[in-house]
Structures are given as structure tokens and as C-alpha cells.
Amino acid sequence: MLNALNRLLVKASDIGLITGVIRGDNLVHALHPQFPDDTILFLESNLDFVKTAKRILRCFEWASRLKINFHKSGLVKVGKIDGRIDEFAAVFGCKKPNLPILYLGLPLGANPNTKTFWELVLLKIEKQLAPWKRRFLSKCGRVVLIKAVISRIQMFFMSNFKILVGVARRIEKNAKGLLLV
């Protein structure tokens, strides 16, 4: 079904009914990255584009019989949009969260060069490893557990952001501490 939404959005873009954003030195064009149950729309700051995008989403709902929950959705201001965020959010009937936001477990709009950004990673690792401190696992079992948890969480973040040296050392220290328990 998401393929149908993709086709609708691409066709609307091709004929100029909506325009995505073009950013960066390489002029990357972004309109609608899609995930299994999630779609992000990047639209230029234009009320007609916003209204057209809403119509496309409504057509998709009607054709697919899937329901888009606009009340759970959010319209996030990126860059300057001349104070029209309220008007655009009213068209979609959605929230207006401010950056940074948490999206698919990643903090978007936050500065990855700060320790506070990486606190989320550290908390996730510590939360998943904490219950195992009291378990009766062999040293080998603990090593396997630690490597699995740390590599999964750390790689997810590091595939998008460069980890700080101090954060990597703290993760390593926590892992060693768990081995000594």
C-alpha cells in the first residue's frame, strides 16, 4: 500500500502540485522518505503544497481503507517558514512539536557533538543491561549479552551520528563494570 502513496506523491511532485525540499551542497532532493509504518513529508513552505499534500493523504486513505491518524502526527518547522506553522498545522489537524524530536528512536534536530545528545544512548544501554547484573550468567554469557546490547544500540546511533570519544569510553567502562559483577 505504501507503494501507492509513493506513486501519488511522486506524480504530484512531477506535475508541480507539491515540491519537496532541496538542501545541501549536493542539492539533495527530499520529498517523502518512507518506513514500514511511517512516512515523512518534506514540503516547501507553501500553503497550496500543504493543502495538496493533505488531499493526497485523504485520497490514499479512501483508496487503501487505511486510516492516517493526523492527531498523532506532527508538523515540525525546519528553517524559516515565516510564522505560518499554525496555519499549516491547522490544515493537517496535527501537533506542532519543536526540534529536537525523537523519531524512530533518534533525536532529530539535536546537536550530536554534545554529551547530552548521547545521554539517550547511554540510558538505553544501561537500562537494558541493568536487570542482568543480578542474574546468574557465566562470564561468557555476560560477554555475549553485553556485546549484543551495546553493538545493537550503538550501531543504530552511529549509523547516523559520529560518537564522541568520551561517550565511547563511558560505554566501555559500563561494560567492564558488568563483567566484574
pLDDT digits (tens, 9 = 90+) for 32-83: 777 777 888 888 888 999 999 999 999 999 999 989 899 888 888 877 766 7
Give burial (CB, 10 Å; 0-12/13-18/19+) of 92: buried
Residue 168 has pLDDT above 80, yes or no: yes
**Do both 78 and 113 map to the same domain?**
no
What is the rounded distance in angstroms from the CA atom of residue 122 to the CA atom of residue 129? 11
Domain check: are 94 and 172 in the same one? no
Instruction: Specify the pLDDT at position 58.
Output: 94
- The mean-pLDDT minimum among 11-15, 50-54, 127-131 falls in 127-131
Per-residue model confidence (pLDDT) at position 140: 79
Q: Is the predicted pLDDT of residue 155 greater than 80, yes or no? A: no
Task: Please state, for a pLDDT cut of 90, what percent of the chain lies above it.
Answer: 19
Say whether both 149 and 82 belong to one domain.
Answer: no
One-letter amino acid identity for 112?
P
- 118 plus 66 within the same structural domain: no
Q: Which three cell numbers stand for residue 33?
A: 522518505
On whether both 92 and 150 belong to a single domain, the answer is no
- Domain total in the chain: 2
Last residue of a domain, one of 31, 65, 98: 98
Same domain, residue pair 6 and 93: yes
For the CA atoms of 164, 167, 171, 172, what is the dihedral angle to 10 degrees? 70
* 8 A C-beta contact, residue 69 and residue 75: no
In this structure, are 51 and 81 located in the same domain? Answer: yes
Is the domain of 146 the same as that of 123? Answer: yes
pLDDT band for position 24 (50/70/90)?
low
Domain boundaries, position 138: 107-180
**46, 65, 98: which is the final residue of a domain?**
98
Give the SS3 label for residue 110.
coil
CA of 82: how far to CAs of 28, 43, 87, 88, 174, in Å? 23, 14, 11, 11, 46
Whether 74 and 133 share a structural domain: no
Judge if 70 and 118 occupy the same domain.
Answer: no
pLDDT of residue 179: 64
| Distance from C-alpha of 161 to C-alpha of 47, rounded to nearest angstrom | 33
pLDDT (0 to 100) of residue 54: 94
Residue 30's DSSP bridge partners are 21
Same domain membership, residue 65 and residue 147: no
Which of 98, 131, 155 terminates a domain? The answer is: 98
123 and 76 share one domain: no
pTM of the model: 0.68
